[in-house]
A and B are shown apart, each in its own frame.
Chain A
Amino acid sequence: MNKKQFLRLESINKRFGGVHALKDVSLTVEEGTVHALVGENGAGKSTLGKIIAGVYQPDSGKIYVDNCCVKYHSPREALADGIALISQEIALVPQLTVIENIFLGIENNHRGLIRNKEIRKRYYELIERTELSIPPDIPVYCLRIAEQKKVEILRAIARNARLIIMDEPTAILSADEAQKLFALIRKLKSSGTTFIYVSHFLEEILSLADNVTVMRDGQCVKTSPVEKESRETLIEAMLGRYVSLGFPEKIYPEPDAPVALSVEKLSREGIFYDISFQIRKGEILGLAGLVGSGRTEIARCIFGADPKTEGNIKVFNKIVNPTSPKEAINAGIALLPESRKLQGLILKLPVIYNISLPHLRKVASGPFIKLRDEHNRVKELLSTLNVKPLDPWIEARALSGGNQQKVLFAKWLFEKPKILIADEPTAGVDVGAKHAIYQLIHSLAREGIAILLISSDLEELIGLSHRIITINRGRITGEFSGSDLAEDKIMHAIFSTAS
């Protein structure tokens, strides 16, 4: 209560073209606390973070840091005051090593020469202080996304940041990595660092934050201590209405439904071994495991995107063993990849080009595309999936995360697949869209599509799947169904090694 305020915003306004992104936003952040910002996509959370960090300049309003009115023209100026932004997208130089990235720009050079020894010493101090261990000399592009996030955090701490703004830090982390991150945040908080924490994950916020501000349509709806809030009250404030977060009721496939996908002793040397499972028509099989356990690689291998060393992949009892995504698509397999921006969508291209791409032949005679047929089919899909805006010609990058994900679904429903593999289908989408995606997966299974669902969100996986298999270090460690679908049991299997 008598904590010193670190940051105060007074009626900040920001417009982008015709969009009023922030309306009269006022906010106070106390020193040494974790202040959470929640809201749907497009509510203005990220914009607010970027304004505090000097990436954008407000059109009007005042920012006070330590009770001094400041005006940042660039992130560099904000950084000089100890304000660092860790944004949603990774902002590292991929070719440079971990240590080079961390100290980039603050090498303390000696007459223009970098003193490697001294930097190495600082690096190990940093590692000791944060207990994050990352080998220093690997180029960043070799690391997994979760590890890259750690490098970004180390970079902010190396700059002695007093306020760290984190935009969706856990969206791409697995559960245990997220836990490590929280421990780190708590530790830094106790030594006086302040955090602004933007997230979709309400559980995270409820357990981690001290105060929470809910944003809706560019305005602050309410700010309160986190003890006074619950999941329900936050969602209600975010949406301005009550939404049930329940999962659709499971409808199990007939026990004698034909097996749609059968994977037999699938191995890829060094990545995963001896993977066997079957999915029946209309069944949702969950694949649980940590990031790096091999779950994504198994999915890519089934889809023909990565080679296999052994094993068979059968679709309705016919061996297909795809050697390219094209062959997999022809066999009726679809893959919603892990990263919608890097692997799923072609952001520069209009939505219509993205959606029709895998199945152009369906709307073409010979090499020529029947543009009207394509347009009608795409429009139909967009309206079925309730994509906003309903404009086939808008570029994919202009859509919000949730709508981009719906476009990806539309892409694979252009021609209905027999098997749909969805890798993290709700990563980085807001609550409303998440709910819509749950409903969609549920109804696709009811229509007879066999679904392989991969997710780091165990609650989601349990809520949707009929059956779950767990993977650790590339091997199956357990299979759960019925009453065994419980978080603790599955969690245990995720961490156990195969005998």
Chain B
Amino acid sequence: MEIAQRKKFDFTKLQVILRNYGIILAFSLLFLILAFSSPAFLTYRNLHNIIDQSAEVGIVACAMTLAIISGNFDLSVGAIFAFSGCIAAIIAAKGYVGFALLAGIVSGLILGIMNGLIITKFRANSFIVTLATGYIIRGLAMILTGGRLIIVNDPVFSILGQSSFLGIKIPIFILIIWISITWILLGRTTFGRAVYAIGGNPEAARLSGINVDRTKIIIFGINGISAALAGLITVSRISQGQADIGSLVDLQAISRVVIGGTSIAGGEGTIWRTVFGVLLMRLMTNGFNILNVSPFYQRVLGACKTMLP
């Protein structure tokens, strides 16, 4: 009797651990499987590539984590990604590279804050608002570029996406810095607490003196910046601005956040979960390529993973 009781207790504990740290377990398992099944996997070049290719989605997903914890979605990040990229490309093509990067980031910030203002002032649902503004912003990007590719020949512009420092690609540095910023914001600041609070119970948060509207506007501003940053990296990588890039970034970011174990009900979640979510998905794609899985199956399997808790 005594023993049976012990066993049962341990089992529930195990369940809790699995639920909380399952993402680390899944990541480690996949990592080990790939390491043992292919010699090409565990090479500096391959691992470096995996992280480099995760940069854009990773950056957007970190900011999306804030939105989701606060009980919101930002479906316009894909469009801001393209819009800011195009703005930067147009200005850079005229030769003002520094100003181009600044304009890209600021445009993302402004669009994000606009989202936040619409959502808070009209008490509207963020899902619907950002779905709509996403279409508008992408439309604006089309108008801006006239539907053409904006080629940037300036080699300085391509530093952001293509150069390396100490043998590590610049996007990786940006990713790491952005992860750190969002991590500290969420875990160590009064703003981060407000994010959790308004996601957990907006009324209780308000009655605790939290400025719910201002917190939301800042969250969408941060999402705008992250989308712009990721857009700039991509435009710099391919040396051209294009209005239809990043069309999947929003949904990819959301799926990475969710796979990490952050609840879409709000009030719960962390940045490290999202980081593992991003890496796990990239690892799967990479592993499928190494193991020669057909891209069609890859899509199906990738989608299945999103549904797992």
Q: Which residues of A contact B (CB under 8 A)?
A: 15, 17-18, 303, 305, 324-326, 328-330, 335, 337, 342-349, 353, 356-358, 360-361, 364, 367-369, 371, 411
Contacts and interface: CB of A to CB of B under 8 A. Distances in A.
Given A367-B189, A367-B191, A17 B208 contact: no
Given A17-B9, A329-B209, A353 B190 contact: no
A67 B261 CA distance: 48
B299 interface: no
27 contacts: A17-B8, A18-B8, A18-B9, A18-B12, A326-B211, A328-B209, A330-B209, A337-B204, A342-B204, A343-B201, A343-B204, A343-B207, A344-B204, A346-B201, A346-B204, A346-B205, A346-B267, A347-B200, A348-B201, A349-B200, A356-B193, A357-B208, A357-B210, A358-B208, A361-B190, A368-B184, A368-B188
Contacts of B209: 324-326, 328-330, 357-358
B120 to A, nearest CB: 14
Contacts of B196: 346, 349, 353
A305 B212 CA distance: 13
B267 to A, nearest CB: 4
A167 B203 CA distance: 26
Interface string B175-211: 0000000001000111101001100110111111111
Contact of A369 (B188, B201, B267): B188
Contacts of A335: 207
B78 to A, nearest CB: 29
A368 B9 contact: no
Interface of B: 5, 8-9, 12, 184, 188-191, 193, 196-197, 200-201, 203-211, 267-268
Contacts of B184: 368
Contacts of B210: 326, 357
B197 A353 contact: yes
B147 to A, nearest CB: 43
Contacts of B191: 367
Given A325-B206, A346-B197, A347-B201, A371 B188 contact: yes
Contact of A360 (B8, B12, B193, B267): B193
Contacts of A353: 193, 196-197
B56 to A, nearest CB: 27
A335 B209 CA distance: 11
A330 B210 CA distance: 12
A436 B8 CA distance: 36
A325 B267 contact: no
B193 A369 contact: yes
B49 to A, nearest CB: 36
B193 A305 contact: no
Given A18-B12, A348-B267, A353-B193, A325 B207 contact: yes
A337 B9 CA distance: 37
A303 B207 contact: yes
Given A305-B207, A326-B211, A357-B205, A346 B200 contact: yes
Nearest to A345: B204
B189 A349 contact: no
A348 B265 CA distance: 10
A347 B200 CA distance: 7
Nearest to A303: B207
A18 B203 CA distance: 34
A381 to B, nearest CB: 15
Nearest to B202: A346
Contacts of A364: 189-190
A324 B210 CA distance: 9
A313 to B, nearest CB: 16
Most buried by A among B188, B201, B207: B207
Contacts of A360: 190, 193
A342 B203 contact: yes
Contacts of A357: 193, 197, 205, 208-210
Given A324-B206, A349-B200, A369-B189, 7 more contacts: A18-B5, A329-B209, A337-B207, A346-B197, A348-B201, A348-B267, A369-B188
Contacts of B267: 346, 348-349
B10 to A, nearest CB: 9
Contacts of A346: 196-197, 200-201, 204-205, 267
A1 to B, nearest CB: 39
Nearest to A18: B9
Most buried by B among A303, A329, A353: A353
A58 to B, nearest CB: 16
B268 A348 contact: yes
B189 A368 contact: yes
A140 B208 CA distance: 27
A427 to B, nearest CB: 16
Contacts of A369: 188-190, 193
A348 B189 CA distance: 19
A397 to B, nearest CB: 10
A305 B204 CA distance: 11
Contacts of A328: 209
A326 B197 CA distance: 14
Contacts of B203: 342-343
Nearest to B266: A348
Nearest to B12: A17
Contacts of B206: 305, 324-325
Nearest to B263: A348
A17 B9 CA distance: 6
A328 B189 CA distance: 23
A346 B207 CA distance: 11
Contacts of A345: 201, 204
Contacts of B205: 346, 357
A359 to B, nearest CB: 8
Contacts of A371: 188
A364 B184 CA distance: 14
Nearest to A371: B188
Given A325-B208, A411-B208, A348 B200 contact: yes
A94 to B, nearest CB: 15
A345 B207 CA distance: 10
* 7 A-B pairs with least C-beta separation: A346-B200, A326-B209, A17-B12, A329-B209, A348-B267, A18-B9, A346-B201
A309 B211 CA distance: 22
A349 B197 contact: yes
Nearest to B267: A348
